Amino acid sequence: MKRLLAALLLVPLLDMLFLVFLSTQFSWEVLVALVVLTALLGTLFVRAEGRHTMRRIQQALAEGRPPTDELVDGGLLLVAGAFLLTPGLVTDAIGLLFVVPVTRAPIRWALKKYVITPKLDERTGGFATGQVYTFGFPDDGNTGQNTPGANANDTENTYDLSEDAYDVEFDDEDEK
């Protein structure tokens, strides 16, 4: 949370410093026109990519597959729109990184690998990503070794049950 707050404070500061630097190079009219132009062009790009992403979501649903990449792209486009509408050239550059599909793909990959998937595994115990234990116990985390019974080749903790161990006999009183 502290990193997010630091980033939220750092980006406008960088934006302001960059605009101050550019004000020494260009007139204020050129800077205002540049900021407005990047916001307008960015909005058009976000709109076009949003339509394309909606078509990809509909196509994925029609094919019967989950539209995970498309939904992440939609979220990145929302963030891009917010960055592009914020006045400043640094925020516009960050927004354009999220809009252009060539640069959005690695951002989506990193976001899924390092943020979304670990959070889903943490919240669902592995069910969302298929990391579910089907035999024994998971690594206990304290000793770095599996708990007893987790290893199929562990003969010390293996119990041999006779064939009739699972036969349960019921006394049916209805049969009298």
Distance of CA 110 to the CA centre of its chain: 8
| pLDDT tens, N- to C-terminus, the chain (176 residues) | 788 888 888 888 898 899 889 888 989 899 999 989 998 999 999 999 999 999 999 999 999 999 999 999 999 999 999 999 888 889 999 999 999 999 999 999 999 999 888 888 888 877 777 776 666 555 555 444 444 444 455 556 555 566 655 555 666 665 55
Per-residue tokens: 63: 């094919």
Verdict on whether the full-model pTM lies above 0.75 = no
pLDDT the model gives residue 157: 58
Task: Measure the CA–CA gap between 11 and 16, rounded to whole angstroms.
Answer: 9
- The DSSP code for 142 is S
